[in-house]
Chains A and B, each alone.
Chain A
């Protein structure tokens, strides 16, 4: 498994051996969101960075998941439709949302690495 990258919106990205990138939300994000009761997954299509591609609903509120980079979504985690609680139980594993083919694979390097993401979390905690 290659190292994870992160966005400021608390998504994680993992580049897999086949060149596709898997996306989910971090442990911090699922905790902030609370119990997830519904997940609306992306369509299998091309999206631009920042597009709203998925929706997570907790008991109280809905949150948008945005496309972390330009690319084409090629697979979604359909298991979440029947078991949205996986997002809380295993955010970095079974709780993944979708896989996409990035328009520019090197763009991943521009995202936060683990250390930078942890600094972001610490800064939030101090704020």
Chain B
């Protein structure tokens, strides 16, 4: 087959001109595109309104579809639970007994902690939930790791707020529409979370890798402080994320750091809680940084 002929203008002057102006328009389109791209790289806040609007337009479609998907998934996993139910039941009972003992111990520690804090005169920071939404979508076509949740500015959500589930940290808001917002996940390469190891308290930095895991590096040079199975929690440094929110579990050790699996798996947990930034000043700083 010969190559497609393409738009041949022939002898018509009108057709020739329209083809030429079409070419000019395409070149202009290219230049406009490059300009917009540069603008969105150096000043991402420029497009916040239009991006928010796009999220709002998409969310009435995404939301119901997500419900259907969750129902189907629930049916499958619900049926799976009946398999080997007796053994599972025995195991769960044992686990529950153990957890109850741990919970009693934790309650004691909590009480003691409260008294000690009161003695020191530390102000208790309450982490107030702003809104709770469903995780309805993600950026499955791109190297970036975003998720879309079904709450927006109408619910009080603002850019820069931390998002978590009951299991751990999900990420922070980067685009907020009126009824939906986009979350920068912990596993995104651009998301750096100041953290520490729960076991030792050693300060570390958790950075996403873009493939669903996080890279964890110690702040202090020395021997590798990680062990497999270590829980990494936020340290609260920087004031954006509240302290002691679980981030990841160490699954593999590297030369000088470790690889972690996020504990709040957005694919499993369908509800996410948007919280106030730990220190309100951090929100202003985050917005400023975005604008720069």
Task: Indicate whether A and B interact.
Answer: no
Q: Which residues of B are in contact with A by a Cβ distance under 8 Å?
A: none
Q: Which residues of A are in contact with B by a Cβ distance under 8 Å?
A: none
